[in-house]
Amino acid sequence: MINKIVIHFIDGKINKGTTADFFPDRETFHINDKDSNRVYEVNLKELKAVFFVKSFEGDPIYVEKLIVERVGLGKRIRVRFKDGETMVGYTQGYAPGRMGFNFFPSDPDSNNEKAFIVNDATDAVSFL
């Protein structure tokens, strides 16, 4: 399956493209860059998060709803990244000793279908 993704690097850089070989238990995967069509390997240790998106454009004026009850996505969680960004959503598998965890946004209308959050990029993770 080919997924549209937006990857956020720890240094603030952002790349958009597609991947067919992302697995949360592997340290590397490949991205086909949307703009250059170049395929290159990415190491999760360099990333803040991998966002699986509905579209590359999104809606820049849309404001996500933070308090939406979503059944079946796990426990409600707040993630604060080392760069100061905070996200609220759901997870079924947060464990601090792992590379990262899947995160589902609170708002079903978000452009993000899910994200893979890299634990080393977080400052605080708490269940709500």
What distance in Å separates the CA atoms of residue 54 and residue 5, rounded to the nearest whole number?
Answer: 9
d(CA 58, CA 51): 12
Label residue 63 by pLDDT band (50, 70, 90): confident
The yes-or-no verdict on residue 43 having pLDDT over 90 is yes
- How does DSSP classify residue 82? T
pTM: 0.94
